[in-house]
Amino acid sequence: MSTHGHDSHHATTTSSGTFTRPLIELRLRVNGIDTVCVVHPMARLLDVLRESLHLSGTKEGCGEGECGACAVLLNGELVCSCLVPALQAMGTEVTTIEGVAPSLATLDRVQQAFVDCGGAQCGICTPGMILAAKALLTRCPQPTEAEIREGLAGNLCRCTGYTKIFSSVLRACQADGATTEGGER
């Protein structure tokens, strides 16, 4: 278990503001590791991940729940971490892009498909896209292209024109043993 943060009664400055009220010990499981960090109860999960836990793979785009760049899995459900207060994440299991690959040496099949199909350009949208794709493939293992478009509708990309992203997700569904080593998590 790892602990992060400050004395629970001192002022703390984060990108969400400066807080002087008592903070909370946020206990949650992130990418399979039990974690405790001291944060304001209304701090955004996005900031907890990026600033307290240094998991900078989760990106901030709009900060308003409109772009999906900050998407993570919370108890398996896709959420915009910019909209989730820390208190709401208490006791939950969070998966970020850092927790998707089965090992340091092997990419997840969706990640591999993005590599193979050129599904990422600047990469800002990519972590959220991959987590949205994984959420989709969990509930719908063989989606049609229309279902992929619908499943990724909450994730915006300014670079790719989306075609290669949709191709990447289709490729991930079709992936054989050559690209699924380690399998779906």
Q: Looking at 74, 157, 169, 175, which residue binds ligand FES (CB under 6 A)?
A: 157
| Distance spanning both ends of the chain, measured CA to CA | 22
Asked whether position 160 contacts ligand FES by CB under 6 A, the answer is yes
Q: In what order do the strands lie in the sheet with 77-80?
A: 2-4, 33-39, 24-30, 93-95, 71-74, 77-80
Name the minimum Å distance from CB 74 to ligand FES: 13
Contact 49, 30 (CB under 8 A): yes
* Per-residue contact flags (x/-) with ligand FES for residues 55 to 94, judged by CB under 6 A: -----xxxx-xxxxxx---------x-x------------
Torsion of CA 101, 111, 75, 60, to 10 degrees: 110
Q: Looking at 43, 86, 120, 148, which residue binds ligand FES (CB under 6 A)?
A: 120
Asked whether position 124 contacts ligand FES by CB under 6 A, the answer is yes
Window 18-47: residues binding ligand FES (CB under 6 A): none
Beta strands in 81-124, from DSSP E residues, in sequence order = 93-95
Residue 129, amino acid: M
Count of positions on this chain that bind ligand FES (CB under 6 A): 23
Q: Looking at 22, 91, 118, 123, which residue binds ligand FES (CB under 6 A)?
A: 123
Q: Is 120 helix (H, G, I), strand (E, B) or coil?
A: coil
Asked whether position 133 contacts ligand FES by CB under 6 A, the answer is no
Asked whether position 153 contacts ligand FES by CB under 6 A, the answer is no
Please say which residue, 5 or 65, places its beta carbon nearer to ligand FES: 65
Beta strands in the chain, from DSSP E residues, in sequence order = 2-4, 12-14, 17-19, 24-30, 33-39, 71-74, 77-80, 93-95
Please say which residue, 35 or 81, places its beta carbon nearer to ligand FES: 81
Q: Which residues bind ligand FES (CB under 6 A)?
A: 60-63, 65-70, 80, 82, 120-126, 157-160
